[in-house]
Structure 1
Amino acid sequence: MFFYISLGLNILFILFAIAFVVRRGGVSYLKQKISQILNPIDEFSPANYPAYYWHKKSQFESLPSGKNDIIMLGDSLTDEAEWSELLGGFNILNRGISGDTTDRVLYRLDSIISYPPNKIFLLIGINDLINENRTVKDTLIKYETILDEFKRRIPQTQVFVQSLLPVNNNCERFWQDNQNIISFNQDLRKLALKYDYLYLDLFPNLVNTEGEMDKQYTHDGLHLHGQAYQIWRDIIKQYIP
């Protein structure tokens, strides 16, 4: 009898493991994890930042900037938007880089604030939670370092701290538990208040009744369709110029 109970439990464990791997991305997820175990790298080291990061960083450093600039700073969610067309008529600079994390923003911060901009709209942190498996607490520590740099080096610049957006885990893959994102946003609001920066809560404007990003706003569950950018634009345009 014990043998059959043990066998049944083992089968259940295997089925659970298979379901977990499939939900995380299937064979590609498994290959990625095996590769990470066999070939560990320091992903936090700038030496391992992707080529796209260096190309964009180099472009930003070579472009002119001025005191009337309005900077959109963040990861792919910012990078993929046509902000000049969305907001129009103002000196909008898109300084988003796909894949960026709090670490990567910190590493390129000098080029962003070398000449104090008028305003900065910051949205960063989701890749820390998804790609680097950072905890909410550790991500917020890095985030606070960014805000501290702003307050210390460009105190006259208006900084707008934007919440993380919801994700939808039923499109292409599991991205992140939305409860973690909500927890992050709750503490981020407090952090913005601590530094006397305005907190803009984007999350509830894109969420469905199940607490995930509404599928009408996304294809892959993380990145945004045009309609979502229109909503985002409508939230922030009152603060521009």
Structure 2
Amino acid sequence: MVFHLIAISKQTDNSIGYVFSSDKLSLIKEDLKELRSCTRMAHIDNYSIHTITTDSHDYKSIIQYDSYFKDTQFTLSKEDFIKQLEAQLFPTSKEVASYIAKKFHLGTFALMKTIYYLYADYIEAHKKPLFKAEFQAWDEGPVEKSVWVLKKHHISNLKNADDVRIKQIGDFNILAYIDQFVEKNGAYLESVKFSEDNPTHRLGTPWSVVRQSEVRNALITDEDILKYHYKEKIPV
């Protein structure tokens, strides 16, 4: 008889899992204790625990035992499993925008600016991104295309989508960060839509530097933001 400890997460379309197998129940208990300790330190709890017994150490016997695990991508490494869990918890621009769309009434222009400044201010301060995003240098300024499409053409989908509240980012309070920014700057960003005071259009900003490229709607990289974001600060 072989005991199998299984940790699994089906939070996204891709089911991921960790498996530890042993014919000694004491080792299963020790491994479970270690796994919980590691995930607790990483502020991770987006997984469930299962234990089953089969006649083989091969993890494929788990799938034969219960088809619930059929489409799970298993790893034998706790470290790899935790990295995959962390990736699942990392917010996306769509989830941030969905939260904003539910709580605030921003036009498309102001929403694009808000998503951009939330991203750019954070990466400048912490040297790492707060959420997944790709900004392009459009005529109107930095635009996250996937969010723009939802806001312009599928607003109900944006408002009904899962938002950033389903994610956790360690001890950082992302909701307070978003709320404080929108409450302080939302009206201003709405006001500069057709204005020469548009801060992202100043000379030397990431947007203006990238716009010098012959590529239409070229990508604004994190390196561009880190190097030139100081040029586009919102007036205090």
TM-score by length of 2: 0.26
> Between Structure 1 and Structure 2, whose CA radius of gyration is higher?
2
Q: Which has the higher strand share?
A: 2
Structure with greater contact order relative to length (CA < 8 Å, sep ≥ 6): 2
